[in-house]
């Protein structure tokens, strides 16, 4: 049975839109989990079971490491740190907020990803045209999320999206180096989730009077 490119694309697009719009303390883990699930069918098409396993492991590792980072940040007796969900600056009141900008960016990413998927072949051995759409869409959304970022959490989500999208693109190369390349690129997402969790843990811990006095 042949692969349904529209179905693969739809799964990737839905996952990327969720990753684009998600906010809050668990945003990185949620974004990684959705993207891994959405891009897994594409990965399985080209990388087989190992390809899907890479993305599955990436999603699980992101969830576990985000929790481990949060726990580590709470337990270790260091100074309380920056809250990654608080915007780095307060912009003037505007009609459209950050989510509107991201929604607009997600819409703009559609024609960009479409052009890339039909014009840019990827692959060392065979050219794969037209099937790059969900990957290009996820990557473009990740970059747009980076560009309109207001918090450290936004930056972490953007980096994670770029990592997963690039990892899946490596699976499409179908060369001898595609699998290790995919693993290394996808590893960015769990690391971003760990860092975000760590910062949350540090910022959510109640300030210890002795530690604050030392500061």
Partner 1 sequence: MSPAVIAAAWLGLGLVASAVLRRRTARLVAVVPMVGAGLTLLAARSATTAVPLGGLSGISGLDRAGQGLLVAAGISMALVILLQPSIDVSIGRTIGVVGAAATIAMASSDPLITALALTAAIATMVLRWIGQSPGRATLAAGRVAGTGTAALVAASPFLPLTGFTTGDRPAVVAALLATGVAALLAIYPLGGWAAGIIGSLKPMEVAPWLVLLVPVVLLIAERVPGGVLGDGSPIFEHVLLVVGLGSAVWSGIWAARGPAPMRYGRVFMADVALCIAAVEGAVASPALTGALIIVVTHLCIAPILLRSEGAGLLWPRRVAWALLSGVPPSPTFWGRLLLLEALAAGNVGSTIAAVLAMALIFIASVMACSGRAAVIDGEGWRGRLPELAAWLLLAVGIAIGLAPQSLTRFVFGS
- Name the site residues for partner 1 (rule: CB under 8 A): 81-82, 86, 88-89, 116, 119-122, 124, 127, 139, 142-143, 146-150, 152, 155, 158-159, 162-163, 165-166, 169-170, 172-173, 175-181, 183-185, 188, 195
Tell me how far apart the alpha carbons of residues 107 and 169 are, in angstroms, rounded to a whole number: 21
| Distance (Å, whole) CA 59 – CA 90 | 32
Among residues 29 and 195, whose Cβ is nearest to partner 1?
Answer: 195
Which CB atom, from 56 or from 181, has the smaller least distance to partner 1? 181
Instruction: Give the pair of three-digit tokens for residue 31.
Output: 């974004």
- In angstroms, what is the minimal distance from the CB of 188 to partner 1? 7
Q: How far is the CB of 1 from partner 1 (least distance, A)?
A: 27
Of residues 179, 150, 142, the one with CA closest to residue 53: 179
Task: Work out how close the CB of 5 gets to partner 1 at its nearest, in angstroms, rounded to a whole number.
Answer: 19
Q: How far is the CB of 146 from partner 1 (least distance, A)?
A: 5
Burial of 60 (0-12, 13-18, 19+ CB in 10 A): middle
C-alpha distances out from residue 183 to 22, 54, 62, 139, 202, Å: 25, 6, 13, 17, 29
In terms of CB distance, is 52 or 156 closer to partner 1? 156
C-beta of 4 vs 75, nearer to partner 1: 75
Burial class (CB in 10 A: 0-12, 13-18, 19+), 162: buried
CB of 149 to partner 1, least distance (A): 6
- Choose between 24 and 180: whose C-beta lies nearer to partner 1: 180
């Amino acid at each position: 049975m042949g692969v349904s490119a529209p179905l693969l694309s739809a799964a990737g697009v839905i996952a990327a839109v969720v990753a684009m719009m998600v906010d809050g303390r668990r945003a990185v883990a949620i974004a990684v989990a959705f993207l891994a699930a959405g891009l897994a069918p594409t990965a399985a098409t080209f990388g087989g079971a190992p390809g899907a396993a890479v993305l599955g492991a990436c999603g699980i590792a992101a969830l576990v490491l985000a929790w481990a980072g949060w726990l580590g940040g709470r337990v270790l007796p260091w100074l309380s740190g920056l809250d990654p969900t608080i915007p780095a600056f307060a912009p003037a009141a505007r009609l459209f907020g950050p989510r509107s900008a991201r929604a607009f960016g997600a819409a703009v990413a559609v024609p960009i990803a479409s052009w890339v998927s039909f014009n840019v072949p990827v692959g060392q051995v065979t050219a794969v045209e037209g099937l790059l759409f969900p990957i290009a869409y996820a990557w473009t959304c990740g970059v747009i999320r980076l560009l309109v970022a207001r918090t450290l959490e936004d930056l972490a989500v953007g980096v994670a999206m770029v990592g997963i999208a690039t990892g899946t693109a490596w699976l499409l190369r179908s060369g001898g180096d595609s699998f290790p390349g995919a693993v290394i690129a996808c590893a960015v997402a769990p690391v971003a989730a760990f860092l975000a969790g760590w910062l949350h843990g540090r910022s959510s811990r109640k300030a210890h009077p002795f530690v604050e006095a030392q500061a």
